[in-house]
Structure 1
Amino acid sequence: MAEPVAATVDRLRGRAGFLPVDAVAGLADDGVLVLDPFSTLVSPGVALAAGVTLWPGTILQATGDGRIAIGAETQLFPGTRIVAAGGRVSVGTMAEIGEEGGFTIKADQPGNLVEIGSGARLLGGGSLTLCNSIGDGAQVLGPIRMQNCRLQAGGSHREPDPDRRGGVLKGSGVARGLTVPTGMVIQAFGLFSEDDLRPQTFFHPKPRE
């Protein structure tokens, strides 16, 4: 007799290191909103705080000694993939990851650490690999491949004073080994460079009093 489809799906999920469908749906008991447990893949041991929203098509994969922790009220939009294969990924509270094209975050070597602060916003199909520190309120806007970068903390994109917002990368291309201070932004289409740092008021002038 053929194996029921649901049992087959759960068996294959388990072979790949993911929870069965019922266990993903059961995350609701801990206050996690899973909008489609059938398309959402979560590894055992991933730490999800109450109020996290997992949109359809999100993947949270932790293998070996890898660790993933997602803070309260954070939203992971469709196409978000977070992988910790020997490394560690931590996301603070009220972050927004993956809107407008998904986002990939990988800590796939021992010692890799990716830290994403509270109120950070990562969108537009970009990626973080190796070690990265995305401070509170910092933003990555666009398909930018980041390695070993640091965006300093500040207010979120809702902060009315651009000089107080977290660091921002916007555009498309590759960013390696960069530090973006609070209130600053690099816009590039190609290879990002600290030579292109500008104050965020260049793009968002302060209202005249």
Structure 2
Amino acid sequence: MAETVALAGRGILILDPSSTLISGDAHLDEGIVLWPSIIIQNLGGRIDIGRGTELFSGTRIVAAGGAVTIGAETDIGEEGGFTIKAGSGDTIDIGDGARLLGGGSLSLTNRIGRGAQILGPIRCQNCTLGDGGTYRDPVPDQRGGVLKGSGAARHVEVPQGHVIQAFGLFTDAVMRRQSYFHPKG
């Protein structure tokens, strides 16, 4: 508990240190916000979390022999937490400005690009979402790749400016331009 509280001296905001578990060898940059009930657990792997990232309640990050790298200014776990687990030999890379919301999970090896989003309780395994602007970018087709809905996404690739919405298996769903969901007009 004392080690967790000491992180505040490094510019990390921990809203409830008594409900927050952080492995001592996880690397956290300054400006990170940790909501209550967060677990960051390094079990023989590597965890790096970039500056300004916000981890919401119910988020669990585990490196069980693998590596988890989270870029700067990401939002993870709003609307139901999120689980990120890299097993032995797995690598999970999450780019700057990504958003992972709504109770989903990443396991095995995944690359979630800069500005990419996972919106909903989606179990992602071996997925790649392309780099792009964040959800605030005024041009939807320039944003990072998006998965939204619920279900399982395995070996799915979504390039910049595209989205797959599904309720079940994402490999069976249609990929569309983001402007389909956010038309100008």
Residue of structure 2 in register with 1:182 after alignment: 160
Q: Aligned pairs, how many?
A: 185
1:199 aligns with 2:169: no
AA matched with 2:68: V
1:84 aligns with 2:63: yes
1:154 aligns with 2:146: no
Displacement of 1:44 in angstroms is 1.2
1:44 aligns with 2:24: yes
Structure 2 SS opposite 1:38? helix
Identify which of 39, 43, 47 aligns with 1:59: 39
C-alpha distance 158-62 of structure 1, shift in aligned 2 (>3 A)? same
- String of CA shifts for 1:25-81, please: whole Å, max 9, x gaps: 1101111111110000000110000001111000000012x1100000000000000
* Greater relative contact order, per chain length (Cα 8 Å cut-off, separation 6+): 2
- String of CA shifts for 1:151-178, please: whole Å, max 9, x gaps: 0000000001001000000000000001
1:28 aligns with 2:31: no
Identify which of 63, 83, 93 aligns with 1:115: 93
RMSD of equivalent CA atoms: 0.8
Displacement of 1:206 in angstroms is 2.2
Asked if structure 2 preserves the Cα contact closer than 8 Å seen for 1:116 and 1:134, the reply is yes
Residue of structure 2 in register with 1:73 after alignment: 52
Displacement of 1:193 in angstroms is 1.8
AA matched with 2:23: S
Residue of structure 2 in register with 1:97 after alignment: 76
Structure 1 SS opposite 2:19? coil
TM-score for both structures, normalised by structure 1: 0.87
Structure 2: how far apart are the matches of 1:170 and 1:205?
17
Asked if structure 1 preserves the Cα contact closer than 8 Å seen for 2:82 and 2:101, the reply is yes
**Structure 1 moving runs of 4+ over 6 Å:** none
1:163 aligns with 2:141: yes
Structure 2: how far apart are the matches of 1:75 and 1:170?
20
Structure 1: which 5+ residue stretches go unaligned?
Answer: 1-20
Structure 2: which 5+ residue stretches go unaligned?
Answer: none
Residue of structure 2 in register with 1:5 after alignment: none
Percent of residue pairs identical = 61
The structure with the largest alpha-carbon Rg is 1
Structure 2 SS opposite 1:204? coil
- String of CA shifts for 1:79-109, please: whole Å, max 9, x gaps: 0000001000000000000000000000022
Asked if structure 1 preserves the Cα contact closer than 8 Å seen for 2:165 and 2:173, the reply is no
Structure 1: how far apart are the matches of 2:10 and 2:26?
13
Structure 2: how far apart are the matches of 1:112 and 1:194?
25
Asked if structure 1 preserves the Cα contact closer than 8 Å seen for 2:50 and 2:72, the reply is yes
Structure 2 SS opposite 1:69? strand
Residue of structure 2 in register with 1:8 after alignment: none
